[in-house]
């Protein structure tokens, strides 16, 4: 079997999304590969013995590799069955076994793993290791290889990896590759390898409501796929175009009709397409800020790639949407799991406030609730179940709140948390907060750790290697991203990510623009960063998009209507009650 793929080593391994489930065995990821430590106890001492103690020779193309039966059998079900059966090998003191379909180099790597419980997986050997692990029934190695492929999959190799997984019958890996293609369709679909995709797979893709591509691109891809082999593929045109949402393809819809009149497609069958966008484009981002001046909220529509002020000329709508403005300057606003907006903190004459508000969708007003125990200006707010935690924030221009408290959404009361250790050292300066898998991570200048609300325990983690004030924070697929920021008067482009699985900090590609006090949010597998303070002390209306698979930042050509700083960014579904009440009037011109 000869399945090969040429790839290049990366300078930086980005933190990838949608990680394949891993066990607790030790791994070390470098720019060249992955060093995997297996579950079995190493038997390196046996390798030091004289070769006369070895009772089996594995032969590949006249090259011999000596080993111990007990080591092979304890690591491989293939050899275990061979030596514990009625095969002749069971009764021989020293045997030779001819191995086919596996290279001597790969066999040596596997036997070395049997003795040392360590294996080095690279892009050059991962496919051969997968094939060999299938032959020798090495589930552990196979899982490690799949985990590694998940980390290095990109737009250049995903098609080959998909085909490779399909050939070996690796359903989990095949699903991972298909998911990557769905999420990164715009990067993958125009490659020559993609044009070789068979009918069943391209149908599976364009039928998928989660396909991350606008309909004009889906249409172009379908047409290009047909043109790649028209003699064989033209017969599929009507079936494929049934799943292209033609009313959304504004510039090419008439062309579609002409093409398919020529090809004999039934136009009346092509007229009943769904007019709703695919799921990734049925959401958008609401940005709220108070600096450099009080600004009305703005809405970024993923379908049209446009910004829209959340204020329209309709008087009733305008009055309602002005009510959406945060009740306090420099409070923090988050979206609760039930679809309501929650705000806490604020500023009065430079000092923090204790205010708490909920936006009531029935009355369309901010409703005040019990004050916090501590003044907080721009605190971090995170929701866990029926509780909203308030952490950090400034009590004044030079002091920071050092206590953690939470608001019980059912009892409508604030409660102070008493941790087992003193967290003043962590909170005495600026800090960042993020919630991952039910744990609240707090990252300070010199200390970092996470708080487990279930047992009120605190555990330290490694501090961030480079701390800036005014960084944007967001989470994506178990990773915490700390973006930009400033030291003294200088803004920075740096981006750090903390992987909660490996418990490591990784330096990622820099922003295109140095910025601080910007907003950040994750949507559709990407990270969006908005506005902020720039190097020349001005404020920005630009935003950048980060793709974690490619470890690249791209500047969007869409600009916010106003320069903004100290931004709260919130992802809102278009079918939510909040969107319908607040934005349907203002955005009816851009939603198809």
In order of their start, the domains of the chain are 27-182 (3.30.710.10), 192-270 (1.25.40.420), 282-582 (2.120.10.80)
Residue 423 has pLDDT above 90, yes or no: no
pLDDT in tens, 428-456: 666 899 999 999 999 988 889 999 988 88
pLDDT in tens, 266-279: 544 554 456 677 87
Confidence of residue 41 (pLDDT cuts 50, 70, 90): low
Q: Which residue has the tokens 């002020």?
A: 309
Instruction: Specify whether the CB–CB gap between 40 and 109 falls below 8 A.
Output: no
Residue 492 has pLDDT above 90, yes or no: yes
SS3 letters across 398-461 = CCECCCEEEEECCCCEEEEECCCCCCHHHHCCCEEEEEECCEEEEEECCCEEEEECCCCEEEEC
Report, as an integer, the average pLDDT of 40-65: 70
Q: What pLDDT does 544 receive? A: 96
Q: What pLDDT does 588 receive? A: 44
Q: What pLDDT does 82 receive? A: 81
Q: What pLDDT does 3 receive? A: 28
Residue 295 has pLDDT above 60, yes or no: yes
Confidence (pTM): 0.67
Report, as an integer, the average pLDDT of 167-194: 88
Q: What pLDDT does 20 receive? A: 36
Tell me the pLDDT of the chain averaged across its residues.
Answer: 80
Q: What pLDDT does 435 receive? A: 94
Nearest to 97 by CA among 128, 75, 73: 73
Residue 406 has pLDDT above 90, yes or no: yes
Residue 591 has pLDDT above 60, yes or no: no
Residue 532 has pLDDT above 50, yes or no: yes
Phi, psi dihedrals of residue 309, rounded to the nearest 5°: -65, 140
**Higher pLDDT among residues 19 and 486, named by residue:** 486
Instruction: Specify whether the CB–CB gap between 46 and 68 falls below 8 A.
Output: yes
Q: What pLDDT does 177 receive? A: 92
Q: How many helices (H) and strands (E) does the chain have?
A: 18, 34
Nearest to 381 by CA among 435, 327, 329: 435
> Among 83-87, 252-256, 399-403, 554-558, where is mean pLDDT lowest?
252-256
Confidence of residue 264 (pLDDT cuts 50, 70, 90): very low
Q: What is the DSSP string of 131-161?
A: HHHHHTT-HHHHHHHHHHHHHH--TTTHHHH
pLDDT in tens, 81-124: 888 765 555 556 678 888 888 899 999 999 988 888 888 899 88
d(Cα 423, Cα 442) in Å, to the nearest integer? 10
pLDDT in tens, 200-225: 999 999 988 888 888 888 888 999 99
Confidence of residue 246 (pLDDT cuts 50, 70, 90): confident
> Among 30-34, 360-364, 415-419, where is mean pLDDT lowest?
30-34
Q: What pLDDT does 97 receive? A: 87
pLDDT in tens, 453-463: 888 888 999 99
Q: What pLDDT does 30 receive? A: 54
Report, as an integer, the average pLDDT of 553-562: 91
pLDDT in tens, 467-481: 999 999 999 988 999
Q: What pLDDT does 21 receive? A: 40
In terms of C-beta density within 10 A (0-12 exposed, 13-18 middle, 19 or more buried), how is residue 198 classed? exposed
Strands 118-121 and 34-37: antiparallel
Q: What pLDDT does 311 receive? A: 55
Confidence of residue 314 (pLDDT cuts 50, 70, 90): very low
Residue 76 has pLDDT above 50, yes or no: yes
The count of other CB atoms within 10 Å of the CB of residue 407 is: 23
């Amino acid at each position: 079997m000869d399945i090969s793929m040429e790839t290049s080593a990366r300078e930086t391994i980005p933190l990838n999304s949608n990680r394949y489930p891993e066990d607790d065995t030790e791994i070390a990821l470098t720019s060249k590969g992955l060093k995997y430590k297996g579950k079995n106890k190493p038997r390196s001492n046996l390798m030091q013995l004289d070769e006369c103690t070895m009772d089996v020779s594995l032969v590949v193309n006249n090259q011999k590799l000596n080993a111990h039966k007990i080591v092979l059998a304890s690591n491989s079900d293939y050899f275990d069955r061979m030596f514990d059966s009625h095969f002749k090998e069971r009764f021989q003191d020293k045997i030779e076994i001819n191995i086919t379909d596996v290279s001597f180099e790969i066999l040596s790597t596997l036997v070395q793993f049997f003795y040392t419980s360590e294996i080095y997986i690279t892009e050059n050997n991962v496919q051969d290791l997968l094939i060999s692990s299938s032959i020798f029934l090495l589930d552990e190695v196979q899982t490690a290889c799949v985990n590694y492929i998940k980390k290095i999959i990109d737009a250049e190799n995903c098609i080959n990896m998909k085909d490779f997984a399909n050939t070996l019958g690796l359903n989990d890996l095949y699903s991972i590759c298909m998911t990557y293609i769905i999420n990164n369709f715009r990067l993958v679909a125009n490659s020559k390898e993609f044009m070789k995709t068979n009918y069943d797979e391209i149908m599976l893709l364009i039928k998928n409501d989660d396909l991350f591509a606008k309909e004009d691109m889906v249409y172009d891809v379908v047409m290009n796929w047909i043109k790649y082999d028209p003699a064989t593929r033209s017969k599929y045109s009507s079936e494929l175009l049934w799943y292209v949402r033609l009313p959304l393809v504004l510039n090419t819809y008439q062309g579609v009709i002409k093409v398919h009149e020529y090809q004999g497609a039934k136009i009346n069958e092509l007229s009943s397409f769904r007019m709703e966008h695919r799921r990734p484009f049925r959401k958008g981002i609401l940005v709220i800020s108070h600096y450099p001046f009080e600004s009305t909220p703005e809405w970024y529509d993923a379908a049209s790639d446009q910004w829209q002020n959340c204020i329209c000329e309709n008087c009733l709508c305008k009055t309602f949407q002005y009510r959406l403005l945060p009740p306090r300057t420099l409070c923090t606003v988050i979206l609760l799991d039930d679809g309501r907006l929650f705000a806490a903190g604020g500023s009065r004459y430079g000092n923090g406030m204790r205010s708490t508000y909920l936006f009531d969708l029935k009355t369309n007003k901010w409703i005040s609730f019990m004050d916090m125990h501590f003044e907080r200006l721009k605190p971090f707010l995170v929701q866990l179940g029926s509780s909203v935690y308030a952490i950090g924030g400034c009590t004044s221009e030079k002091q920071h709140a050092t206590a953690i408290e939470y608001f019980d959404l059912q009892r409508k009361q604030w409660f102070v948390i008493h941790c087992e250790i003193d967290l003043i050292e962590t909170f005495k300066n600026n800090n960042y907060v993020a919630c991952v898998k039910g744990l609240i991570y707090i990252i300070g200048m010199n200390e970092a750790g996470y708080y487990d609300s279930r047992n009120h325990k605190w555990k330290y983690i490694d501090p961030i290697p480079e701390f800036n004030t005014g960084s944007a924070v967001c989470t994506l697929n178990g990773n915490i991203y700390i973006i930009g920021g400033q030291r003294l008067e200088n803004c920075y482009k740096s981006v750090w990510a903390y992987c909660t699985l490996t418990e490591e900090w990784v330096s990622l590609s820099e922003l295109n623009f140095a910025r601080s006090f910007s907003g950040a949010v994750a949507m559709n597998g990407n990270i969006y960063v908005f506005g902020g303070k720039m190097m020349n002390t001005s404020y920005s209306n630009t935003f950048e998009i980060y793709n974690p698979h490619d470890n690249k930042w791209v500047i969007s050509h869409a600009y916010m209507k106003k320069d903004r700083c100290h931004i709260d960014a919130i992802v809102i579904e278009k079918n939510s009650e909040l969107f319908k009440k607040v934005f349907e009037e203002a955005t009816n011109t851009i939603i198809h």
